[in-house]
Amino acid sequence: MPEHSGTSHALAIGFYVAAIILAFGAILVLYGLLGPTGQLRKSLGINANLWWGLFMVAFGIVVLALSWFSPRRRSG
């Protein structure tokens, strides 16, 4: 039996995926707030970068919390 079977890790892959989604969401929020205003004409006045960034930040926080408080993590 291999020494590192993958069962002793404290955090699941979902934690890292959620962290990446959270980081990209934060970048989109910043770009939506600080980016050029000429983009709003292309999207009918809706700041798509800001809204998708906020959605990604919220989703990343929820998945990070679920991963952090997972019963599988606490049992290890």
pLDDT tens readout for residues 4-39: 555 556 667 888 999 999 999 999 999 999 988 777
Structural tokens at position 28: 């989109």
Residue 1 has pLDDT above 50, yes or no: no
Residue 3 has pLDDT above 70, yes or no: no
Q: How far apart are CA 14 and CA 63, in angstroms?
A: 7
Report residue 30 CA to chain centroid gap: 15
Tokens 């919220």 sit at which residue?
58
Predicted local distance difference test score (pLDDT) of residue 41: 77
pTM: 0.76
Residue 46 CB partners (closer than 8 Å, separation 6+): 40
